[in-house]
Structure 1
Amino acid sequence: MNLRFLETFLWVARLNSFSATADRLHTTQAAVSNRIAALERELGIRLFDRDLRSVRLTPEGRAALSRAEEIVRLAQEFQGAVSSRDALRGRLAVGAIDSVVHTWLPRLIRRVHQTYPCIELDLTVDTSLTLSGHFHRNEIDLAILMGPIIAPQVETMPLGSLSCSWYAGPGMDLPEGRLGLESLAAWPIFAFSRGSKPHQDVLRHFACAGVKAKAVSNFNSIATMMILAQDGLGVTLLPDAAAAGAVTAGRLRRLDVSPPCPPIEVHAAYSNQPRNVIAAAVAVMAQEEAGTVA
């Protein structure tokens, strides 16, 4: 029995679409249809009911699904355990938040390339909310984002936290020493994307202190927030590891603000039905690399 046909069966069952499966497997819709037809002929059953609008598992297809998942999982684990690094091929779609891109993600990518030199990475950088949507639509294999994904057949593991502080350009007229939030309120505030936990934390900080910020602008790019702060256009909240280089170079100044902001809690999530062995291995690597961030 062709393992690729079983994998195709699992993706069609998961996505309920031949065209979406073709996109996910980087092949054509005709190839997907031919694989399913060949598998149905070999098994002597009909796996899917098809019409112009949808694809649905038949009762026989639902009965076959768990067995197919187990076979594919065991095959992946066997391949991962005994294959040479150069023999493992394919694509791994990874989604990551901007905060880890500017901290430990480059080290993770270097390690993945060294460990699996023939695995191609597809990287998407976006907000946690958007990445969660991509993950639930099976568009990415491994999500690195704020907060866990709680769902059936999903493995989630903590990757630690990223401490955050307020930063400003060295030329901005802010006093030395400890500052209260009222000292920041007169300046434009550059925060993370609207609706994200760090953005909510910023609004909650000002509200709890009884301080109204002049203006809170929202960005999904740490690089943009850093540039605007360096140019003296406002103050920004950044992961300390991401801002360290700019502080050392004298382009940014770390502000001692009370109360401090909570850290960003980062998690990795991947599907365990079938368990993606490479995604699981990279999640462990991510946990190890994140642990090296002070």
Structure 2
Amino acid sequence: MKRIALFHLETLMWIDRLGTFAAAAQRLNTTQPAISARVREIEQQLGIALFQREGRRMVLTARGRRLVQASEPLCHSLEQVLLEASDYAGATGAVRIGSGEIAAASCLPAFIQTIERERPGVTMEIELDLTARLLQHLLAGTRDIVFLAGPVASPGMRTAPIGSVELVWAAGAAAADAGGFTRPLPVWSLPDHSPLHAVTLATLEAHGLAAPTVHTCNNVRTLIEIVTGGTGAAVLPETMIRDHLASGTLREVLPRPRHTVHFEAAIRSRERDPVILDLFARAARLEINAPTP
């Protein structure tokens, strides 16, 4: 019979966090049969059942929960000590990062470059999505660090502000030269669950303008291309259209909205993985509105 090792306890913690053997296997870069074998080894060694099935999820029994709660800080403390002893040079593992488009276009590239340079053993898995889904993924344990349009509050989440983005009412050069909003102008926006959509409607109303319809597109870069080459206008993040404004391919057609979009880096409040905590500390020092070098 095999003795219980650290990887056995790590396996329990990831099954508890992600809810299924398959998800834990993917996170630990192994197979589902290997995960099942580890659980059997622990249960045989201790002589107790650690998990019970509830629907599709594997849920810890009361005794299994006590084991994980007691083991988790011990495992992470040991890993922290070993990583600090090597100045994190030996940090390895996959970190799953989620980001919206604005953060991805602004501060994420510099963050990635720093990790590649200073934590070469860390593999990054990056996915772009909307804030609502990013928050769901983070709390479900399928993302480790996310960059959210905020402010967002949740008892299961720890956040760090990384700045705000100014918004601009912009139209392509042809539409601006034709008079902008002095004539009926098609309006484009992100979908209605985006902060930009609310700002679009609020500022139109504040200026006494009415758009017969608001066309939507769920991709900011595509939205910029539509407005740049067409006859419409949109509220767009200034960080993503600086070059267009400087070259004149986009023009400002209304005063800039007073509302800005704030951004936060976030991890789970229960996060104890020292590598993720190290990357979160770095993410907290980012500035999303910093000028492009």
Provide closer, same or farther for how the CA distance between residues 54 and 170 of structure 1 changes in structure 2, counting only shifts above 3 A. Answer: closer
Find the counterpart in structure 2 of residue 143 from structure 1: 146
SS for the counterpart of 1:230 is: helix
Task: Tell me the TM-score normalized by structure 1.
Answer: 0.87
Shift of 1:3: 2.1
Aligned to 1:271: 268
SS at match of 1:207: helix
1:143-201 Cα offsets, whole Å, 9 max, x none, are 1011244333421111111111112212224578xx8xxx2782222222321222122
Say whether the 8 Å CA contact 2:165–2:261 is kept in structure 1: yes
Q: For 1:80 and 1:31, locate their aligned partners in 2 and report how far apart those are by CA, in whole Å.
A: 26
Q: CA deviation at 1:247?
A: 2.3
Q: CA deviation at 1:85?
A: 4.3
Instruction: Check the 8 A contact 1:189/1:235 in 2, yes or no.
Output: yes
Contact 1:164 1:263 in 2 (8 A): yes
Q: CA RMSD in A?
A: 2.5
2:255 is matched with 258
Counterpart in the other structure of 1:45: 48
- Structure 2 matches for 1:92-111, cutoff 5 A? 92-111=95-114
Q: Distance in 2 between matches of 1:132 and 1:72?
A: 26
Structure 1 residues 122 and 265: CA distance shift in structure 2, 3 A: same
The residue identity in structure 1 corresponding to 2:32 is: Q
The percent of aligned pairs where both chains have the same amino acid is 26
Aligned partner of 1:227 in structure 2 is 225
Corresponding residue of 1:199: 197
Once residues 201 and 165 of structure 2 are traced to their aligned partners in structure 1, the CA distance between those partners, rounded to angstroms, is 19
* Alignment of 1:66 onto 2:63: no
Using the size of structure 2 for normalisation, the TM-score is: 0.88
CA contact (8 A) 1:168 1:252 kept: yes
2:141 match: secondary structure: coil
The more displaced of 116-125 and 85-94 is 85-94
Contact 2:168–2:236, Cα closer than 8 Å, also in 1: yes
The Cα offsets for residues 11-47 of structure 1, whole Å up to 9 and x where unpaired, read as 2122332123223333221111111122223334321
Structure 2 segments unaligned to the other structure (5+ residues): none
- In the TM superposition, what are the counterparts of 1:4-83 in structure 2 within 5 Å? 4-50=7-53, 53-83=56-86
Q: Tell me, which stretches of 5 or more residues in structure 1 are unaligned? A: none
**Residue number in structure 2 paired with 1:158:** 161
Q: 1:215 to 1:51 in 2, by over 3 A?
A: closer
Q: Supply the distance in 2 between the matched residues of 1:149 and 1:76 (Cα, whole angstroms).
A: 30
User: How far 1:142 sits from its partner (Å)?
Assistant: 0.5
The residue number in structure 2 matching 1:288 is 285
Partner residue, 1:240: 238
Structure 1's 230 and 275: CA in aligned 2 closer, same or farther, altered over 3 A? Answer: same
Letter in 2 for 1:126: D
Cα offset, 1:74, TM superposition: 1.2
Contact 2:83 2:90 in 1 (8 A): no
Q: Which amino acid aligns with 1:195?
A: H
Flag the 1:148–1:77 CA change in 2: closer, same or farther, 3 A. farther
The verdict on how the C-alpha distance between 1:76 and 1:269 changes in structure 2, with shifts beyond 3 A counting, is farther
Matching residue of 2:6: 3
- Name the SS for the 2:286 alignment partner: helix
Q: Which amino acid aligns with 1:242?
A: M
Q: Residues of 1 paired with 2:47 and 2:121: CA distance?
A: 36
Deviation at 1:249, TM superposition (A): 3.2
* Equivalent AA in structure 2 for residue 41 of structure 1: Q
